[in-house]
Every structure is written in C-alpha cells, then in structure tokens.
Amino acid sequence: MTTDKKKRGPARRGGARGKSRSAPGADTAEAAETVETASADASSLSLAQAEAAASVSDGGGFTELGLHHVVLRAIADAGYTLPTPIQRQAIPLALKGRDLMGLAQTGTGKTAGFSIPIIERLYGGPHRTRALILTPTRELCQQVEEAFRKYGKHAELSVVSVYGGVGYETQVAALRGGVDVVVATPGRLIDHLEKQNVSFDDLEVLVLDEADRMLDMGFAPQIQRIVATIHPYRQTLLFSATMPPEVEALARKYLRKPMVVQVGRRSAAATTVKHFVYPVPKQRKAELLAELLKQEAMDSVLVFTRTKHGADRVVRHLELVGVNADALHADKTQGQRESALQRFKDGKTRVLVATDIAQRGLDISGISHVINYDVPQQAEDYVHRIGRTGRAAQTGDAYTFMCADEISMVKTIERTINQEIPRISVPGYDFGT
C-alpha cells in the first residue's frame, strides 16, 4: 500500500523507530510481489481464477473493495490508501463469504486481509461472539487484537484477546460479559471452554492465523477440540506463510471449497534483505557478536538463539561489554516480555535477544539487523526470522553465525531461498584462526 505520507528509514540509536504507512501490516514493496490465485479444489480452478480476477483492481484503493464508510474512515485514520496484493485479493473474496486460504510471506498484510472483512461483516449486527481468531503466540494475539481495534474503532465492536501468562479473571469477565471478536491462543481458550466461560453457538467466522506455526508448535489436537465446538455452517479463513503438507491437510479438514490467494513464491525470503554468513567457532560467537555491535550502522538488532538459556547467556555477555540488551523468551512473564518489546520499539534497548517465539508476530519498524546467533534448525524458520527486518520496503541485513556443525543446515537454507549466501571472514574469528 502507499500513502500520501513520506516513508522514514530506520530510526537511529536512542530514538523511537519511525513507522511506515505503506499498508496495514504490510512489510514488503508492492511492486516486488507477484500475485497468483488458484483454487484448492482443482475442479473449480477456472471459477476461482475468474472470481479472483474480478475482485482485483490494479492500483485501486480501499474504496473500490465495497467497504462501508465506517470501515473506510478507520483505514483512512490509520493513514492507509492502497491495499497490498494479499489484501486486494483476499478482502473481496472474504466479503462474499467464501472460505479462503491466504498464503504470503511474513509481513505482507495478512492480518488486515482478514480483520477488515470481518469488521465489515459484523458491523451493525447483534452483539454476541461471532468471530474467533486462533493464533500461535501471545505476541501475535495482541497484535491481531490491536488490528481489530484500529480498523474497527468506528464500528462499535468489542474484542478481547485470550492467552496464558496473565490474569484469568479479567478474561472471564470479558468473555461472560459478551464480546464480538475473540482472539486467542489454543491452550488458554480450551481452559475457558472447559469452564463454559465462552460459547461459540453464534460463531460466523473462524480464522486460523499463522496456521503453519500453530502446527509446528503442536497445537493440532487443541485446534481440533476447539473446532469441534463450532457448528460447520461458518466461514473459515486460513492464513499461513508457508504451505507444508500438514497445512494442506488442515485446510481439507476444516475449509469448504476454499479459494487460495498466494502472494509471491512459497518460502521466498524478503526481497529487501541482504544475507551474509559469518563462519565462527561455536565458543566465539558471543565475542563476534560484541565485535560486530561496535558498528554504528547496527542501530536496532534482533538476535535469535536456539534456546532460552542461550538467550540469557548472550544478554549477560553483552552487558559485561557495555551493550544494553534484553532477552525475550517463554520463561519471561508477560509483563517482562511486553516491557522488553516496548523498550526495543522505543529505542531504549539497542539489542533484543530472542528465541523463535519472536520469529512471527513481531511488527517493529526500523529493525536494521537480524542476527541468527544459532542457525535455525528448519529452513522455513530462517525465512520467518529475517522477515523481521527489511520491512515496509526498507532495507535490512541478515547475519548468520555458522559454526562447523551448522554448515549443512546453511546449505539447506540456501537451497530453500534459491540463492547462495556470501561468507564474510572476520580476522581472528573464522575457523582455524
């Protein structure tokens, strides 16, 4: 999406990060994306293509999507003018009541692609729980809730997010008091269902957000339990960054003749990110990180480690050498996680060290560098990790520290993203030096 406002580059150290208004939740240049539309039902392929093509208006704004002026006013208030490719295709189809699979890399505006048509559908209707969005993490849960509040602020809809790690009674009061939209992680939602704090008898729309990540985290049984409480005559929207066989099976099970909207190539890495691999012995990674952080260009850095203890160790090392850093992982309380994120967003903390809990759902403008302190064990995770930088058509750098036993995984990543990643040898840190 584009707006009438100027885009700002990454904020400098010590200041708040500038926010781009290129699209609701969009993080890649519209011109760089290709749009493919297909049907999950091969027999209806031609119908799907024709219907999707009829929904697309190249260069058209949100006003051409048939949205109510109340919804359009909220979108305008947020500073957005043009939908991204995934939004331009998904919103009209969702408004028609079709089941939908939205496939796009991290940061292309998928959240607005389902929240806007749901708000349009619920506006002016009865006040009861009519929409449920399932997400894999607390952070994503919060961001989806924020999107509903932003785009639905003139529609007088109520929304509550339900996740673990916080007080239970506040959620009970909100659910029992009546709410239009529930955004939830599977585990905590099942707790409320078992205690009959919420009923989905009137549910009209179910969204499975970041479906691939939910399956990776082992939520398939919980999803099945939740969906079993919802009547089949509903609209189901599934959004995912990747399409492994498990997600296809999930779609066949829960969606009825779905339309498929795909933006870009599956498993494609962000096009505005430059990739580099740093060979380094495992025991010297912390020293190399501290050395690289001496560069002024490393303004706001997100570091990924494989384990929670590893994240804490990196933070302790950085603090010893005078680098202000915070850790973000599942052992932190919700308050600690929110505080760490806010300090990073505000530029008060230069480095955020996280486990893969942060590879999805973090929408932070101005991250200059993503560093894979440990090579991810799944190539798809590499794509999601580096999607935290190079957002909103800005540029970013992705560094990967590779020790000897991680070489084969780096080669797998290169095959996945279909490009060779250049190696950078830092004197004194490379293998054998």
Measured CA to CA, the distance from residue 394 to residue 12 in angstroms comes to: 14
Domain with CATH 3.40.50.300 in the chain: 30-263, 273-417
- Please report, in tens digits, the pLDDT of each residue of the chain (433 residues total): 544 333 333 333 334 444 334 455 543 333 333 333 333 333 333 333 334 434 444 446 898 888 999 999 999 998 888 898 889 999 999 999 999 998 876 667 889 999 999 999 999 989 899 999 999 988 889 889 999 999 999 998 999 999 988 888 999 999 998 899 999 999 999 999 999 999 999 999 999 998 888 887 889 999 999 999 999 999 999 998 777 788 888 988 999 999 998 876 544 444 567 899 999 999 999 999 999 998 888 888 999 998 999 999 999 999 999 999 999 887 888 788 888 888 988 888 999 998 876 555 566 667 888 999 999 888 877 877 776 554 433 457 889 999 999 999 999 988 888 889 999 999 888 875 5
What is the per-residue pLDDT for 388? 58
Measured CA to CA, the distance from residue 72 to residue 153 in angstroms comes to: 11
Using DSSP's 3-state secondary structure scheme, residue 85 falls into helix
Measured CA to CA, the distance from residue 59 to residue 283 in angstroms comes to: 52
User: Are the C-beta atoms of 310 and 335 separated by less than 8 Å?
Assistant: no
What is the per-residue pLDDT for 20? 38
Measured CA to CA, the distance from residue 287 to residue 314 in angstroms comes to: 10
Q: What is the pTM of this model?
A: 0.62
What is the per-residue pLDDT for 264? 60
Supply 365's token pair: 């403008």
What is the per-residue pLDDT for 77? 92
Superfamily name and number for 273-417: P-loop containing nucleotide triphosphate hydrolases (3.40.50.300)
* Element at 221 (helix H, strand E): helix 220-227
Which residues, listed in sequence order, are joined to residue 398 by a DSSP beta bridge?
A: 275, 370
Measured CA to CA, the distance from residue 62 to residue 394 in angstroms comes to: 23
| Residue located via tokens 């300090």 | 343
**Nearest CA among 271, 273, 264, 208 for reference residue 86:** 264
What is the per-residue pLDDT for 292? 93
Measured CA to CA, the distance from residue 99 to residue 256 in angstroms comes to: 6
Query: What is the per-residue DSSP string for 377-410?
Result: SSHHHHHHHHTTSS-TT--EEEEEEE-GGGHHHH
Supply 237's token pair: 């929207």
Measured CA to CA, the distance from residue 324 to residue 322 in angstroms comes to: 6
Express each pLDDT in 82-136 by its tens digit. Answer: 898 889 999 999 999 999 998 876 667 889 999 999 999 999 989 899 999 999 9
Q: What are phi and psi of 81, to 5 degrees?
A: -125, -40
Looking at 3.40.50.11540, 3.40.50.300, 3.60.21.10, 3.40.50.410, the CATH number of the domain 30-263 comes to 3.40.50.300
**Nearest CA among 394, 412, 275, 406 for reference residue 21:** 394
What is the per-residue pLDDT for 316? 94
